[in-house]
Structure 1
């Protein structure tokens, strides 16, 4: 079916990472005419861009998208294992993906959404924004001037450029602790945090967090009080290298600076998080829930639901969005 010479779909998913694939899985099983638009040159989503030593917090058996488990890996899988899994998953379920496609804007005419990407355009009854956060890194503003090199965890390349250098790492959560820990092996590191690090119990990893997020999601669905976010356990999962650096005394927090003038280092790495990368649909969200029927957001963390930014946790949220989309076109997600 076409409109104004454009192909019309029952659903278009913007983003081909874990959230987009999970949603596509349910839609395709229900027979919904679906297309995925992905701005990456190949599968893997944001996992193509993490730093070299980054791993999952969970073992492979606790890191599954709907329908097909992640292949076994001894210990915590690295990003390359995740990329291989997402690549195979996309192929296994014959997910229709066009890439690389960078969506510029999405408009709504009261019946159809029109997706514009350069000179190309598509129309759909339903849109899923599943663009994640990795392309929208956040760094706070501080007075003063830092004359060294600024980095963010989004473009941190691993330890090589920092050998023998003085490095300031900012951020008291997982990325800050992990990056600071591995840099203490090769550089003089100052780890800045706004408060003393809140370590999770050493036995807590992604498996515990998955169970907790699942309990939260089920409670919320039943209309019960939220049992509480992961942050009640602490802010930092104590992975083996983090534990070793902390326990050996190499990883020690320093109170946060108030001005960049106070930072005496060659490099400053901001491990200060990300924001939802929703630029194409931002106008249609109005700083809150979608303004129009048929627009869905999946996979942006607690903004869209407990565990929604994790590989295993995104499944229930993807299914919920797919159920609403399928129902709108007279189909059923089981």
Structure 2
């Protein structure tokens, strides 16, 4: 099989990747999209059954195609992928799936030369890439003393599917983000739960205001990324909002945070006061990290563990754009990042 060519290659067909495809298409730039999933929908297709449309923080319209009316009781893993599939069909995007990108590397030493993209479906040569792989395939599982000795189940948020799997059990939920609180409220209805976080969670009073809170948050995340620092979760910058599920957990007396346990033992966790809390399950709702291992041959990660960025462009590397990364992790940010990447690549391809 020979090496094929596309002017731009988009890796990932979630919201950020589809936005980038739309804007590249509008600018007449040739591209192909690879997606590791077998169906449209990005990470949404993997969400747990009980995460309905009503429980979402919000779905931002894909460019040029407003979100249709969705049944609030429909699982998000059905509703959102259907919307994404309709978008792909309307704009004739021809996403190639399932295709796993194994690596991206330089074709030669020319600073404006091509990149080589190796996939499980063949090799490609390209002028530039838009990486939109998100975080779902790279869950953060902390190494914790004694974890290997635990006789119960340990799983991550991404492994959670059915509430019935926890009925009548003793469950420790670890994490201070949105998913942790959603799962705490839900699982506590059928099981004994204990909620652990490293820091005291901060709950925002009042409504989230996109024009103030949102803008300030994006500015802080952008500053961190431009300085080459690893960016944390958006909740780490904003705090937790009072939603229907957080209020429900509070009103039922289960929104009670415990400080992190000091170790894991075969039958449970050791509390800071020395007592043992018996557990059957430890659910790590500890978030995700950017899924960019396939970009390692480009040496983008610095000594701080971050990737220095300017907008969507890797600083000093105009051939590589990261969307759905850092300040563009949110749905609205992903849309804007796709547009900005397309604009920058139009200039780069013209000038180079």
2:47 is aligned, of 39, 47, 50, to: 50
Do structure 1's residue 115 and structure 2's residue 117 form an aligned pair? yes
Determine the C-alpha separation between the residues in 1 that align with 2:207 and 2:58.
13
2: CA distance, partners of 1:312 / 1:152: 26
- After TM superposition, give the deviation of residue 198 of structure 1 in Å: 1.5
* Aligned equivalent of 1:286, options 283, 296, 301: 301
Structure 1: distance between partners of 2:213 and 2:92: 32
Separation in structure 2 between the aligned mates of residue 6 and residue 235 of structure 1, nearest angstrom: 48
Residue in 2 that maps onto 1:266 = 280
User: Does 2:4 align with 1:7?
Assistant: yes
Relative to structure 1, the CA distance from residue 34 to residue 277 in structure 2 (aligned partners, 3 Å threshold; closer, same or farther) is: same
Q: Indicate the residue corresponding to 2:334 in structure 1.
A: 314
Unaligned runs of 5+ in 2: 223-232, 271-276, 309-313
Distance 1:58 1:209, change over 3 A: farther
Q: Secondary structure at the match of 1:185?
A: coil
The 2-side partners of 1:158 and 1:237 are apart by 25
1:205-284 aligned at under 5 Å gives the runs 208-209=209-210, 212-214=213-215, 231=235, 234-261=238-265, 262=270, 263-284=277-298
Distance 1:128 1:216 in 2: 24
Whole-angstrom distance in 2 between the partners of 1:9 and 1:26: 16
Match of 2:345 in 1: 325
CA-CA distance at 1:243 after TM superposition? 1.1
Separation (CA, whole Å) in 2 of partners of 1:239 and 1:74:
19
2:201 match: secondary structure: coil
Match of residue 200, structure 1, among 204, 224, 229: 204
Determine the structure 2 residue equivalent to 1:143.
145
* Partner in structure 2 of residue 87 of structure 1: 85
With the length of structure 1 as denominator, give the TM-score of the two structures.
0.85
| Structure 1 unpaired stretches of 5+ | 222-228
Task: Work out which of the residue numbers 128, 134, 151 in structure 2 matches 1:132.
Answer: 134
Structure 2: distance between partners of 1:317 and 1:66: 12
CA pair 217-235 structure 1, distance change in 2 beyond 3 A: closer
Deviation at 1:94, TM superposition (A): 1.1
- Residues 272-331 of structure 1: CA deviation (Å, up to 9, x unaligned): 01000001113311332446331111102xx2x2xx112222122111111111222339
May I ask how many residue pairs the two structures share in their alignment? 312
